Amino acid sequence: MNKIDNIFDVAGRSMSAQLVRMNTIASNLANAGNVSGTEETAYRAMKPVFQTTYANQFEENGISTTEVAQIVQSDRKPERIYMPSHPLSDDDGFVYAAAVNVEEEFVEMLETNRQYQNNIEVISTIRALMMRTINMGK
């Protein structure tokens, strides 16, 4: 499981973590306008929890990467909207809108994008270095 021993593992795992984050953001945004009949069934934004994973020989090589420990639902309350004509509305005429903050999701999407790009940048730099090292002495 904990088999991280080069930069490709580091960046690769970090990129998959960012991808999970991107997936949750996409799900949150897709559900942003949804309403529900009860507060319990209303959609709540999903957030991944990142955690550092250390290589087995961390003290020797200092390699660590990140991975998603779990995905939690945000504790933001769904908004209660008075909409008596809505077919899903409860006895008092209220519906519950998904607890998603669209602006927040957009900012997170940009950040995720940046992190992903940074990892790609590292990989392409290291790859170029490795190619130059292989060709040493030629």
Partner 1 sequence: MNGIGEYLDVHSTALEVRARRNKILASNIANAATPHFKARDIDFQDEIRRAAGSSKSAVQATDTKHIQASLRGPTADLLYRDPVSASRDGNTVEMNVEQMEFSENVIRYQTSLTFLNNKISGLMSAIRGE
Binding site residues, partner 1, CB under 8 A: 6-7, 10-11, 13-14, 18, 21, 50-52, 59-66, 111-112, 114-115, 118-119, 122, 125-126, 129, 132-133, 136-137
Nearer to partner 1, 24 or 66 (CB): 66
Nearer to partner 1, 81 or 107 (CB): 107
DSSP bridge pairs for 53:
65
- The 3-state DSSP composition of the chain as helix, strand, coil percent (nearest 5) reads 45, 20, 35
Helix and strand numbers, DSSP H then E, in the chain: 3, 5
Helix axes of 7-30 and 102-134: crossing angle, nearest 10 degrees: 160
Give min distance, CB of 86 to partner 1, in A.
38
Nearer to partner 1, 18 or 24 (CB): 18
